[in-house]
RNA sequence: GGGGUCGUAGUUCAGUUGGUUAGAACGCCGGCCUGUCACGCCGGAGGUCGCGAGUUCGAGCCUCGUCGGCCCCGCCA
């Protein structure tokens, strides 16, 4: 018999109707002579009633266990006033059972489904099919589906074409470590899984699809975090004949529609901040602007103290003020110092502006008056604590940017209900890599320098700014992109600055360079971490919660036991020998 | 690659300065119960204390190593 209703959709309108329901046994409550059963499917839960006037049926119901799959026939009836359960959407009715079929028995599950949130992630992911039966986990996936539909719908309305790009790709030298797939036919050669469809979407622009969109699965073989999985989904978009501002507008419209899913009204345009300004004020390229506390440059005041520690040639002294934090114990200060050192600072200078006196690590060396002057330069008032770091501009900014976040958390200054979006743009085109002793691309090798910086490409690459941009929300980078290089001559100069030889460029990216020679339109685009966006919408801290089958931080899947060894036959065919 | 933290019953956890028989809650099994909805009450089963060494008369507890989960730094164009 086919079901007539989903469990959560039986309502008062169905009173006296005979219904057929399918679902999982959430729980039974046997009162002796009468038994209540909560039946669950994706739509919700409904209460089924068995009594011992129908002895056989009652005895059968007594044998049911959690997570058995059953079919129930019965009649919808209203609950008496005193028996209504206001916490249940179907709480005004119940189904008086007239028939019961067990469709599938369940073993005792390793955790109780309705309590899955309290089980360890490892266990939940091993039994993800049980975990997903839990309302919250299932809703996250439902929300994800809605978000995907929104995105596709939005871009279609704006004339974007959805095109799939290859999963088996050429390995490229820049960027993250590739996942590698050996080729059987081409022995000794390898495919790489895409870190992003970057080059292909640019080639699609050359082809003339002037607006492209794809939900692209991407793969990066790097160490994982709460917001990083080895495979993840990007909303990948690219447009021709546009400028940076066009991208901002179209994406702002998309964010409005996505956040509408959770009834949050965003009001574009989002604030725009240059990279320089973001670093100066927040010490990071992804500022969390849900709370105040900005970095202050006190280099001049610091140098006037005459202390050696402030003197270095490229030294910049920066500070933040923790408002009303003079109650902080020595232990808290020590913690902050540890945090600062973790970020690479030599140390952390602190000044406590207490009611009657000033306390500081440099009080003895500097004396009360000069110490107070320094704190005041940072903007500290009575009751505040000034935290000071002296180092290179980037180091001092980053350390204080981190301390700013820690301080915001500690003092509970962050309004968790806010969604503060902003654009960061004008990133440096290159950054110096100490490890490799060369410049590397801040965004990627195809990012266009700003027009006005073109002539500095060869003379002072470090000062060239790019047409790259990030969309940031609450201190998280949701996505980023750039206007691309569409002229082969500029692309060559950028490769040169990156220390990529012509031969290497030809070997690795030759197909893109060739395409650019055949009438490439000016173009640019952006890519978003779909998982991060959905995690935001679902109020989850980890993207694992919004991925159906996530991997652990060691890139292992506890459900399928992946990765695993392969047989010698497969290795032989691939001409691969494993090292001992 | 580095740092932190956790690992005890099916699950989530407690376990004192190293000391007799390792506890609780939920779940599970059995019984009672006619309006429950975290039902209630009574009884019961269930443990290689992640793994391996070491110290000790004696280790869940201390030491070293190792494996795994999570968080962070590096890394992630």
For A97-143, write each residue's pLDDT tens digit: 999 999 999 999 999 999 999 999 999 999 999 999 999 999 999 99
Please give the C-alpha separations between residue A91 and each of A8, A81, A83, A140, A328, in angstroms, as whole numbers.
10, 11, 9, 24, 50
For A402-424, write each residue's pLDDT tens digit: 999 999 988 889 898 999 999 99
Q: How far apart are CA A195 and CA A176, in angstroms?
A: 7
Q: Which positions of strand B lie within 7 Å of protein CB atoms?
A: 1, 10-13, 26-29, 32-40, 68-77
Contact in structure between A108 and A123 (CB atoms under 8 Å): no
Sole residue written with tokens 């604590």? A385
Q: Is A137 helix (H, G, I), strand (E, B) or coil?
A: helix
Contacts by A306-315 with C-beta closer than 8 Å and gap 24+? A307/A362, A307/A365, A307/A366, A309/A390, A310/A390, A312/A390, A314/A392, A314/A393, A315/A390, A315/A391, A315/A392
Q: Dihedral of CA A424/A425/A428/A432: which sign?
A: positive
For A181-194, write each residue's pLDDT tens digit: 999 999 999 999 99
Please give the C-alpha separations between residue A329 and each of A379, A501, A512, in angstroms, as whole numbers.
21, 56, 59
Work out the average pLDDT over A461-468.
Answer: 94
Nucleotide nearest to A116 (CA to C1'): B11
Predicted pLDDT of residue A102: 97
Q: Cβ–Cβ contacts within 10 Å for residue A372, how many?
A: 18
Distance from CA(A556) to C1'(B52), angstroms, rounded:
24
List all residues 6 or more positions away from A571 whose beta carbon is below 8 Å from its beta carbon: A577, A578
For A236-281, write each residue's pLDDT tens digit: 999 999 999 999 999 999 999 999 999 999 999 999 999 999 999 9
* A497-512 as b/e: b if 16+ CB within 10 A: bbebeeeebeebbeeb
Predicted pLDDT of residue A331: 81
A50-54, A103-107, A308-312, A318-322: lowest mean pLDDT where? Answer: A308-312
Predicted pLDDT of residue A38: 97
- Residue A468 forms beta bridges with which residues? A482
Work out the average pLDDT over A327-355.
Answer: 87
Work out the average pLDDT over A64-93.
Answer: 96
Predicted pLDDT of residue A355: 87
Q: Cβ–Cβ contacts within 10 Å for residue A225, how many?
A: 10
pLDDT tops 80 at residue A154:
yes
For A425-457, write each residue's pLDDT tens digit: 999 999 888 777 888 899 999 999 999 999 999
Contact in structure between A175 and A195 (CB atoms under 8 Å): yes
Predicted pLDDT of residue A410: 87
Predicted pLDDT of residue A356: 87
Strand order in the sheet with A468-473: A161-162, A211-219, A231-240, A523-529, A476-483, A468-473, A421-425, A272-274
Q: How far apart are CA A76 and CA A11, in angstroms?
A: 8
Q: In degrees, to the nearest 5, what angle opens at C-alpha A212 toward C-alphas A486 and A431?
A: 45
Nucleotide nearest to A77 (CA to C1'): B35
Q: How far apart are CA A282 and CA A275, in angstroms?
A: 10
Distance from CA(A362) to C1'(B55), angstroms, rounded:
46
Q: How far apart are CA A207 and CA A203, in angstroms?
A: 6
User: Which runs of E-coded beta strand occur in A373-426?
Assistant: 385-391, 421-425
Q: Cβ–Cβ contacts within 10 Å for residue A562, how many?
A: 11
Element (H, E) at A572: helix A568-573
User: Which runs of E-coded beta strand occur in A10-157?
Assistant: 18-30, 34-41, 44-51, 69-78, 93-104
Nucleotide nearest to A176 (CA to C1'): B76
Per-range mean pLDDT, top range of A327-331, A439-443, A483-487: A483-487
Predicted pLDDT of residue A58: 95
For the question of an ipTM over 0.90, the answer is yes
pLDDT tops 90 at residue A542:
yes
Work out the average pLDDT over A26-39.
Answer: 95
Distance from CA(A121) to C1'(B70), angstroms, rounded:
9
Distance from CA(A443) to C1'(B70), angstroms, rounded:
30
Confidence category of residue A235, pLDDT binned at 50, 70, 90: very high
A37-41, A43-47, A51-55: lowest mean pLDDT where? Answer: A51-55
Work out the average pLDDT over A465-489.
Answer: 95
Q: Residue at minimal CA–C1' distance from B69?
A: A122
End-to-end C-alpha distance for chain A, whole angstroms: 59
Distance from CA(A4) to C1'(B68), angstroms, rounded:
47
Element (H, E) at A202: helix A198-207
Q: Is the peptide bond before A394 cis (omega within 30 degrees of 0)?
A: no
For A339-349, write each residue's pLDDT tens digit: 888 888 888 89
Q: How far apart are CA A332 and CA A217, in angstroms?
A: 43
């Amino acid at each position: 018999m086919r079901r007539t209703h989903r469990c959560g959709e039986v309502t008062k309108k169905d009173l006296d109707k005979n219904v057929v329901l399918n679902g999982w046994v959430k729980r039974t409550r046997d009162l002796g002579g009468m038994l209540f059963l909560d039946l669950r499917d994706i739509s919700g839960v409904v209460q089924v009633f068995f009594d011992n006037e129908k002895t056989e049926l009652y005895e059968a119901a007594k044998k049911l266990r959690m997570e058995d799959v059953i079919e129930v026939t019965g009649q919808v009836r209203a609950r008496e006033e005193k028996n209504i359960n206001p916490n249940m959407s179907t709480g005004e009715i119940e189904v008086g059972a007239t028939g019961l079929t067990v469709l599938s028995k369940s073993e005792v599950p390793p955790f109780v489904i309705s309590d899955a949130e309290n089980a360890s992630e490892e266990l939940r992911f091993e039994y993800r099919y049980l975990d997903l039966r839990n309302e919250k986990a299932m809703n996250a996936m439902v929300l994800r589906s809605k978000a995907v539909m929104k995105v596709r719908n939005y871009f279609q309305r704006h004339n974007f074409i959805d095109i799939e790009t290859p999963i088996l790709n050429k390995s490229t030298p820049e960027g993250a470590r590739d996942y590698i797939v050996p080729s059987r036919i081409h022995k000794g050669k390898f495919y790489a899984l895409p870190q992003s469809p970057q080059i292909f979407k640019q080639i699609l622009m050359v082809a003339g699809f002037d607006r492209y969109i794809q939900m692209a699965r991407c793969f990066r073989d790097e160490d994982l975090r709460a917001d990083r999985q080895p495979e993840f989904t990007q909303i990948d978009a690219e447009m021709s004949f546009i400028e940076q501002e066009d991208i901002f507008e179209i994406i702002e419209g998309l964010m409005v529609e996505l956040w509408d899913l959770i009834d949050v009204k965003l009001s574009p345009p989002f604030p725009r901040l240059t990279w320089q300004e973001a670093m100066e004020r927040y010490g990071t390229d992804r500022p969390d602007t849900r709370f105040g506390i900005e970095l202050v440059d006190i280099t001049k005041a610091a140098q006037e103290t005459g202390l050696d520690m402030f003197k270095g040639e490229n030294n910049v002294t920066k500070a933040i003020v923790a408002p009303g934090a003079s109650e902080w114990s020595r232990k808290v200060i020590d913690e902050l110092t540890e945090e600062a050192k973790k970020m690479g600072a030599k140390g952390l200078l602190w000044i406590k502006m207490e009611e009657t006196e000033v306390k500081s690590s440099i009080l003895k060396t500097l004396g009360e008056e000069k110490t107070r002057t320094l704190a005041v330069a940072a903007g500290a008032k009575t009751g505040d604590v000034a935290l000071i770091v002296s180092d290179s501009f980037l180091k001092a900014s980053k350390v204080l940017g981190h301390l700013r976040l820690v301080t915001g958390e500690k003092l509970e200054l962050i309004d968790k209900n806010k969604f503060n979006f902003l654009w960061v743009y004008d990133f440096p085109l290159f950054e110096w890599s100490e490890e490799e002793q060369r410049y590397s691309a801040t965004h990627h090798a195809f990012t266009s320098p700003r027009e006005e910086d073109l002539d500095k490409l060869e003379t002072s690459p470090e000062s060239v700014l790019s047409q790259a941009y990030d969309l940031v929300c609450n201190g998280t980078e949701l996505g980023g992109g750039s206007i691309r290089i569409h002229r082969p001559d500029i692309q060559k100069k950028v490769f040169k600055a990156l220390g990529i030889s012509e031969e290497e460029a030809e070997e690795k990216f030759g197909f893109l360079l060739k395409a650019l020679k055949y009438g490439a339109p000016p173009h640019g685009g952006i890519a978003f971490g779909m998982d991060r966006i959905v995690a935001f919408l679902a109020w989850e801290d980890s993207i694992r919660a919004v991925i159906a089958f996530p991997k652990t931080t060691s890139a292992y899947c506890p459900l399928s036991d992946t990765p695993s060894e392969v047989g010698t036959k497969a290795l032989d065919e691939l001409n691969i020998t494993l090292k001992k």
